[in-house]
Amino acid sequence: MKGISLRSALRWAMALVAVMPAGAIRAANDAATVSSQDVKAKLQYCEVCHGVSAQGFLGYYPIPRLAGQQVAYIQNQLQGFSERKRTSNIMFNVGHVLSPAMITALATSFHDLDPKPLATAPKELVAAGKQIYEEGVAAANVPACASCHGKEAKGDGQFPRLAGQLYAYVSLQLTNWSKERGENTSDMMAPIARGLTDAQIKAVAAYVSYLE
């Protein structure tokens, strides 16, 4: 670096390490130990349930699409499962054994995937869903979904991507929000979900499921 001696640079680096929190140092060390082979193997394991290219899976119980999802959101959800803030024995077993570095690697890998949506929703619901997504429901004090999830429903940070998410999964989550969720967005989403009728929930879910 121009104007800074090598000795000064080394002293600065050593001082920085000295004040770094222990957790940050461990995370940095973990990052160096996560191999691409380990990440690939874990991704293949995840796809057994979440579908090819993490596009989601429609079975007895809808398993969500992770492809294109926000990195911070996936990290938060895995942490929530590990701490049993979200209810799923399967996901607890998956999440609590992952290192912070592996969680970040997986979240980043999922974010980079972009398969076509499994668009199975009734198309006649899309127009109504688009209106609710963009304008909300004033009579029920439900704000526009776009205000948090973005105009294209691709999310932002802790606000998840909804574009391309399974119709059945979004419908189920909005219907059962207060029963399953315990994460830090519950205070915001629970009253919104309760303000929507079953028909409105299905319409919104249909609309976002077709977005790419």
In sequence order, the 6+-apart residues with CB closer than 8 A to the CB of 92 are 81, 82, 84
Q: Within this chain, do residues 53 and 75 fall inside the same structural domain, yes or no?
A: yes
Q: What is the pLDDT of residue 21?
A: 47
Q: Which of 81, 47, 80 is nearest to 64 (CA)?
A: 47
What is the predicted pLDDT for the residue at 32?
Answer: 55
Containing structural domain, residue 206: 123-210
* Residue-level pLDDT at 79: 87
Q: What is the pLDDT of residue 86?
A: 80
Predicted local confidence at residue 73, as pLDDT: 95
pLDDT of 14 reads 42
pLDDT tens for each residue of 124-159: 999 999 999 999 999 999 999 999 999 999 999 999
End-to-end CA distance of the chain: 44
Query: Which residues of the chain have a pLDDT value below 50?
Result: 1-31, 181-184
The answer to whether position 155 is within a domain reads yes
Domain endpoint, select from 84, 111, 138: 111
Identify whether 40 is part of a domain.
yes
Rounded to two decimals, the pTM is 0.80
Say if residue 129 is in the same domain as residue 101.
Answer: no
In the prediction, which pLDDT does 178 show?
A: 53
Q: Give the span between the Cα atoms of 212 and 165, in whole angstroms.
A: 9
- Domain total in the chain: 2
96 & 131 share domain: no
* Domain shared by 51 and 102, yes or no: yes
Whether 81 and 94 have beta carbons less than 8 Å apart is answered as: yes
d(CA 77, CA 186): 12
| Residue 7, CA distances (Å) to 2, 11, 13, 17 in order | 13, 6, 10, 16
CATH code, 94? 1.10.760.10
Distance CA 65, CA 138 (A): 30
Residues 31, 12: Cα–Cα separation, whole Å: 22
